[in-house]
Amino acid sequence: MTRGRPVKVRLNAVILAVRDERPLLLTVAAGDGAVDALPAGVLDADGDRTLELALRRLVREQAGLELGYVEQLYTFGDRGRDPRERVLSVAYLALVGEGCAAPAAAGARGAAWRDGYALFPWEDWREARPAALDRVIGPALRDWASSVAERQERVAINFGLGGSRWDPTRVLERYELLYELGLVAERARDRQERSGTALGQAMALDHRRMVATALGRIRGKLSYRPVVFELLPEAFTLSRLQRVVEALAGMRLHTPNFRRLIERGGLVERTGAMATHTGGRPAELYGFRREVLRERPAPGVGLPRSAP
């Protein structure tokens, strides 16, 4: 029996932060320098005791960053995802505070923080309905679905067209459908087709797919895990907390309802201090109340069920 080529195990890090109301993604220069890539490296089978420790080592070496919160995201292993060799990539999601996301942060591989919504401009509803939905995506989806019922259902569920509602957690499903329609640059590159419409910034290999998986994961977790506090300093105002949630969710929240949910849910506690650099009246500072982890099985901050 002929043995196939060995499968190499790589680790990828989707590292997110929020600064100035923008979700930021840590990237490094890809091998060809043409597009951004995620921090990544090969598992040292002899030297790395665990996958997570290996990932932390790689990020430290490539970006000079010590990670805090880390969770395993997904394993990507489709044949052909890397044209050079058969690679199994174990992706991780990491969250860091804005103090770690300094504009000047850089490592040996040209690490830099990029605006996450530059990759997915159709996901940011905070100021208005994204123009690309009506200008490009909507017409292309309707033409593609036309008289095929199964396609019409996919369009309705994932993009909220035809009277359905927009589900903010379906980031990956939307990206994959745009890939299928040839509306992202990775499709033309992977299939060696002529490049047409290219929505959002492309990334190396299938790294934008990894980021879509991570953004959908973090949006979903907002409802049942207090992960948002990993992105905040120890003391924060409720306005700042709301802005960070909005940056991740890609939509504005109703302020009175949000504050009632936070305070009644026991997620925060007063510190007794005031923030004076708010641009207006001093605002009260709060901290994450860790006791809620023992009191409630799903202590999340909530997420709107759909975009307006």
The tens digit of pLDDT for each residue in 233-286 reads 999 999 999 999 999 999 999 999 999 989 888 999 999 888 877 666 788 999
210, 195 contact by CB (below 8 A)? no
Per residue in 169-203, pLDDT tens? 999 999 999 999 999 999 998 888 877 789 999 99
Per residue in 15-69, pLDDT tens? 999 999 999 999 998 876 678 999 999 888 888 889 999 999 999 988 889 999 9
User: What pLDDT is recorded for position 32?
Assistant: 67
User: What pLDDT is recorded for position 108?
Assistant: 52
User: What pLDDT is recorded for position 2?
Assistant: 44
CATH of domain 226-295: 1.10.10.10
Q: Which residues contact 123 (CB under 8 A, 6 or more apart)?
A: 117, 130, 168, 171, 174, 215, 250
Q: What are phi and psi of 127, to 5 degrees?
A: -95, -35
Lookup result for tokens 């992202």: 184
CATH of domain 8-115: 3.90.79.10
The rounded distance, in Å, linking the Cα atoms of 201 and 136 is: 16
Q: What are the structural domain ranges in the chain? A: 8-115, 121-200, 226-295
User: What pLDDT is recorded for position 78?
Assistant: 77
Mean pLDDT for the chain overall: 88
127, 308 contact by CB (below 8 A)? no
* Predicted structure pTM score: 0.92
